[in-house]
Amino acid sequence: MNEDLSKLIYFEFRPIGRQMRVTAIDGQSGAEAVVIAPIGAPRRDLEQLAARKLRRSLEMAGNG
């Protein structure tokens, strides 16, 4: 995997009932991607999933 380590991604975790809403925010553009998963899911897995969704969204928009 060829990742640009200079790209900063912020994460926001918000519990909603028995689910966790995770927002990944691109530090450069402010673009966001949201995933929702069971509240017991490992934090690292949620971060990876949200980051992949954000990167895919940026690629499709031509900003990645």
In contact, 30 and 12? CB cutoff 8 Å: no
pLDDT (mean) for 7-19: 96
**What are the tens digits of pLDDT across the range 21-56?**
999 999 999 999 999 999 999 999 999 999 999 999
In contact, 27 and 10? CB cutoff 8 Å: yes
The reply to whether the predicted model has a pTM over 0.85 is no
Q: How far is CA 44 from CA 13, 22, 61, 62, in A?
A: 12, 11, 26, 27
pLDDT above 90: residue 64: no
